[in-house]
Amino acid sequence: MTDQVKIYTQFITNYCIALVPLSLFGLYSFNDQFSIFYTLYLILWGILVKNYWFNFKLPSITQVDHNPRKITNKRVFFKNIIITPIILVALLVGQVFTLLLEVVLTQVIQIDSFVLKTIISLVPTILTTLLVKLTTFIFDKTIDPKIDYIITIWTSFTPLLLTLFVYLPLGYKLNFNNHLLSIQDRVQRSYLYNNNMKIITNDFKINQQRFIDQYKYFIITNQVVSLALENILPKVLNKNFNYIEPLDLNLGYLKYIMNFGFIVVFSNIWSLSPLISMLFILVNFYIDGIKIKKGKINNIHSNDFNSLVKTMYQIVTLFTVLSSIVQPALILMYRYSKIPGVGLANNDSSNWFKSSPVNMDYSLIIAVAFGIEHLCFGLDKVIKKLSITKLSKTTNTKPVEVEDKVQHQASDDSAMTTSYKPREPETTVEEEPEVEVKEPVPEKSPVVSANEESKPVTTQTNNNKPVQPIKYDNVIPGDILADVTGDDADLSNGATLPDVLPISETAKKTSLPTKQPTISSSEKPKVSPIHKDNDHKHPVLKNDVPEVSPAMAADAALKHTTQTTVRQHNHTEKNLGTEQPKQYENNVISSKVMKQDPAKSLRKKHSDESIFSKIKDKKKKKKIFGLKI
């Protein structure tokens, strides 16, 4: 059994259980037509059934979206908006015409022949059926298929609404203004006129039981015909008694929703209708169970099912609104009317048909009906909130209304398209580092795995985080390197410079992370060796001149061990006196140089010259071996 079949059986079961108390109440109120207490309970029952199923039971079974669908094709959407009212108005005009034709053929014209009278009485029904089929055929390819539900409901409910609000209260007016005489004149001039026809010219009486007969037709006759068409006719057409017509879940839902509408809107006319409907539902449920066991099921696509549930919810909501308007109006109009045999009327007058059967003013009826509708609308909202709160406690979820769920979800605009998050450059204050005396430590080349990027020795970084800009916290500014001892103002003695100076402006700028080439496990980062050159001796460091940076040498003079990260661009090569090997990877250079007996005045000179040199050399660039620094 699929999930959709389980939901279908749950729907029928819950609806059948909900009909039990209403059937008992209706059986108790059978002799009280248009009962006030039964009507109040009926309105409340409809609101409870709708909210229990759509806002509590169904969301606990499956996840269904009741939210409005996004308009994908605006042209088709506006076409549906324009065409749908035209269809409904055309159907309304056609049904009004068939109602007038039926009244004339069955009540104004009296025919002695039973066969002819029966045929004529079927003309309005045939015309209504043809009108519906013709309208559906014309607009079937141009409108939304869900509008078929609206057309079906409109054609089913309109005849009964016309009888209750047009025929019964306004039928007496045919006795005035010579309406019957004008009808007689037109009938006699028609080609269908026969001398055996008798036309009423006065004292026209409405059929006071017409609305009850129509309602019984929809509750009993229509369901019997529906059972025969669904289960017997396919066997006859296939000439196989064992043939089983597949269960169409779409039509099954529509059938039960229509039954709910006739009960919740009109059952105060005949309070036995819930009991009879429950019996028919049990029979249908038994037949559907056989089809389910045999596997004869036409499932609904998931997207179509969500759309179907949304349509059902809207139709049921429409039925509850109509119930809160129609039933109070029927009580005010017919509970104490002048029509014999309707409500509590005991009118013995022989001229009851010559005056309005409604004793109350129509404006008052409309005001009371819409006032009750507003109260029921507020009650519906309260019960809806309670149902959703109960659902949230049952499922331990946040109480969000089902049909408003998507509308209250905020769009996640803060999601980053990349893992890189730009930061503002941080300004750090350079402080004089404390002097630490350490034993020289032999250099070790870091081992770089194949799946990780090269990392500085002094820091450990996470591969998942973006590369941060280079920070030189313990590097001596480049302008101090211009003259450490004062003996070589323009660095004419020379010191081998690094490929990338820490003081370059590009190193200070925040750079976006770029994809670095991976280093295989067999390759190791290249470390520049200590270069000893007898022709180029530093006045302080003598022979021990590191090839990596003059900053390293100055730090060694200050008895400060410095570990500096130098990141080089790929495929760079510079010739500074001595040709350097090409470097194609990001090298990590860790150099530790120590001087045992530094000059005593060096630290003081460092502090005195640092500030002055910064201000002085900002606007001045020096050239060393043809390179600008």
- Segment (H or E) for 199: strand 198-199
> Alpha-carbon distance 317 to 299, whole Å?
25
In contact, 131 and 94? CB cutoff 8 Å = yes
Above pLDDT 70, what percent of the chain? 56
What pLDDT is recorded for position 627? 52
Q: pLDDT, tens digit, for every residue of 178-212?
A: 788 888 888 778 777 777 677 777 778 888 888 88
What pLDDT is recorded for position 21? 93
For the ranges 245-249, 346-350, 421-425, the lowest mean pLDDT is seen at: 421-425
* For range 287-298, the mean pLDDT: 83
Q: pLDDT, tens digit, for every residue of 459-518?
A: 444 444 444 444 444 444 444 444 444 455 544 444 444 444 444 444 444 445 554 555
- Each domain of the chain, given as residue ranges in start order, spans 3-407, 430-629
CA dihedral 214, 216, 218, 220 (to 10 degrees): -150
Within 13 Å of residue 462, how many CA atoms lie on the same side as its CB? 4
Mean pLDDT of the chain: 70
pLDDT at residue 362 tops 60: yes
pLDDT at residue 310 tops 80: yes
Q: How confident is the model at residue 364 (pLDDT cuts 50, 70, 90)?
A: very high
Higher pLDDT, 354 or 625: 354
The two tokens of residue 60 are: 């606990």
pLDDT at residue 234 tops 50: yes
pLDDT at residue 323 tops 90: yes
For the ranges 149-153, 339-343, 500-504, 555-559, the lowest mean pLDDT is seen at: 500-504
Higher pLDDT, 524 or 146: 146
Torsion over CA: 62, 376, 19, 212 (sign)? negative
* For range 11-25, the mean pLDDT: 92
CA distances from 520 to 464, 569, 589 (A): 19, 18, 18
What pLDDT is recorded for position 60? 82
- The string of DSSP letters for 339-362 reads STTSTT-----TTGGGS-S--S-H
Could you tell me which of 561, 559, 560, 538 has the C-alpha nearest to residue 550? Answer: 538
pLDDT at residue 325 tops 90: yes
Q: Which stretch, 58-67, 149-158, 590-599, has highest mean pLDDT? A: 149-158
- The string of DSSP letters for 383-450 reads HHHHHHHHHHHHHT-----STTTGGGPPP-TT--SSS----PPPP----PPPP---------PPP--T
For the ranges 21-30, 74-83, 556-565, the lowest mean pLDDT is seen at: 556-565
What pLDDT is recorded for position 440? 53
- For 388, phi then psi, to 5°, come to -70, -40
- The string of DSSP letters for 546-601 reads ESS-HHHHHHHHTT----------TTB--EESEEPPPB-S----------SS--TT
Higher pLDDT, 155 or 484: 155
What pLDDT is recorded for position 410? 36
Torsion over CA: 406, 250, 45, 344 (sign)? positive
Task: Enumerate the H helices of 140-232 as residue ranges.
Answer: 147-162, 168-170, 179-188, 210-216, 222-227
What pLDDT is recorded for position 322? 92
What pLDDT is recorded for position 558? 60
Q: How confident is the model at residue 314 (pLDDT cuts 50, 70, 90)?
A: confident
Q: pLDDT, tens digit, for every residue of 89-147?
A: 888 888 888 888 888 877 887 777 677 777 766 676 677 767 766 766 666 555 565 67
> Alpha-carbon distance 125 to 131, whole Å?
10
> Alpha-carbon distance 163 to 95, whole Å?
11
* For range 442-454, the mean pLDDT: 45
Within 13 Å of residue 413, how many CA atoms lie on the same side as its CB? 2
> Alpha-carbon distance 280 to 268, whole Å?
19
Report the b/e string of 322-355 with b at 16+ CB within 10 A: bbbbbbbbbbbbbbebbbeebbebeeeeeebbee
In contact, 200 and 107? CB cutoff 8 Å = yes
> Alpha-carbon distance 529 to 510, whole Å?
30
Cα 365 vs. chain centroid, distance in angstroms?
40
Residue 208 burial (CB count, 10 A): 19
